[in-house]
Amino acid sequence: MSQQGWIAEHRGADRRERLLRLAKAGRDQFNRALPHWEKAQALLGRQLGDKRWRDLLTLSNEVTSLATKKGDLS
């Protein structure tokens, strides 16, 4: 994504720290992709039904939370 110019990288206060943000090209790409993503989510939600869709979102959020906790994966 960096090579496409979608992400801008900056150094943080600590030399080991890298700060990433969407560049203008990245925001433009995101805005082009978002309607397609929303359409795909709506279709999947209809196919799964309300309860299974909510269960999937809950489980996805739990997995993301577990995977992003620092030091808990060792």
Give the C-alpha distances (Å, rounded to integers) separating 16 from 12, 44, 48, 67, 72.
8, 40, 43, 21, 21
Distance CA 70, CA 4 (A): 30
Q: Note whether residue 63 is domain-resident.
A: no
Task: Tally the domains of the chain.
Answer: 1
- Could you list the residue range(s) of the whole structural domain that residue 11 is in? 1-30
What is the reported pTM?
0.65
Q: Note whether residue 6 is domain-resident.
A: yes
Which pLDDT score, from 0 to 100, does residue 32 have?
A: 97
pLDDT in tens, 13-48: 888 888 999 999 999 999 999 999 999 999 999 999
Which pLDDT score, from 0 to 100, does residue 73 have?
A: 55
